[in-house]
Amino acid sequence: VGNNHVTQLLPVSANTANFVPFPSFAQGGSQQDTIGQSNYNGLDTRLEQQFGHGLTFLMTYTWSKTLSDAGDLLNGGSVGGYRAPAVPGFGPSFDRALADFNVTNVFHFAGGYMLPIGHNQRFFANASKVEDALLGGWMINWISVLQGGQPITIGCPSGATAGTGCDAFEVPNQPQKLGLHRDVNHALNYFGNPAAFNQPCAMGPNGAPEVGTPTGCIPATGAGFLGGYATSTTGPGIGRFDFSAFKNYQINERFMLQFRSEFFNILNHPTFNAPGFGGNGVTAITNSLNFTTTNFGEIGSTRFAPYDPRQIQFSLKLYF
């Protein structure tokens, strides 16, 4: 959480050095405290079946919600950071919201099927050796993943107070996401509607809001100067389907040769990173989380790069 923070909400023009516990020392130095709390609630379901004719599948679904005001030391802190950690009545608990690792919906479906084709099978049971070598002994397998996006914090483009943070308000009746599309910069955009967010007006010298500063802001009082919820929206989800087909050749009682064909991301569907996130050696797009800029919501990279495109591989495996 750092240290030597301001202990009250201050007008945006105030000198913060006059309102910290130790005016002679720097603000925000390195300091870690065990002060946060988190809780997880979820519904976990599982359906598994093995049929006698070679079909097996496993299906799982998890619905969950993780709330937290704790910063994660391993992953850079809480989603939006603490806005007023030393102000009485606020502190870390004021920023209790969805954890940055929260994923509400997760669905997995995997399985395999030994195709009933070839010698002594339902289809082509009387196949010749050549026909059986081509058609028999095939098995298909699949793994699919569908899950929702993780929380994102949209900050205020300009500060509303001095020494404390600010997160954007959600504007009622305004859709945050208009679907993936190309924006005015011809870049891929995820949010698409900056009108869905706004910020509080700046606090003036007398503690009242400076209405209209910045333009179009929302007048606020008290806690309203810190803005809305820390996790006001979510990023893109994950959708992936992997597929494989195996063919067994029984050479004799001791040796079996297996031909394997594997298709990763067979639908060639990209999984995008959230706006404001670079990753995989890619620099994040500047101001892509600032709703007053033309590149608000722009996506700069894919989540699993460089392994996002469809990959196909073939191999032979000898069992003995």
The mean pLDDT value for 159-184 works out to 92
Lowest mean pLDDT among 114-128, 192-206, 252-266: 114-128
Look at residue 60 and tell me whether its pLDDT is greater than 90. Answer: yes
Instruction: Give the CA distances from residue 96 to residues 69, 132, 202, in Å, rounded to whole numbers and listed in that order.
Output: 4, 63, 23
Token pair listed for 90: 């606020």
Strand partners, 239: 146
The mean pLDDT value for 286-296 works out to 92
The mean pLDDT value for 209-235 works out to 91
**Percentage of the chain surpassing pLDDT 90?**
55
The mean pLDDT value for 81-103 works out to 90
- Least Cα distance to 230 among 86, 92, 65, 79 occurs for 79
Lowest mean pLDDT among 90-99, 117-126, 163-172, 251-260: 117-126
Token pair listed for 310: 């469809």
Strand partners, 155: 167
Helices (H) and strands (E) in the chain — how many of each?
1, 14
- What mean pLDDT is reported for the chain? 88
pLDDT value, residue 76: 47
Select the more confidently predicted residue: 81 or 259: 259
Lowest mean pLDDT among 49-53, 132-136, 179-183, 286-290: 132-136
Q: What angle do CA 294, 194, 303 make, to 5 degrees?
A: 75
- Omega before residue 209 within 30° of 0, cis: no
pLDDT value, residue 236: 93
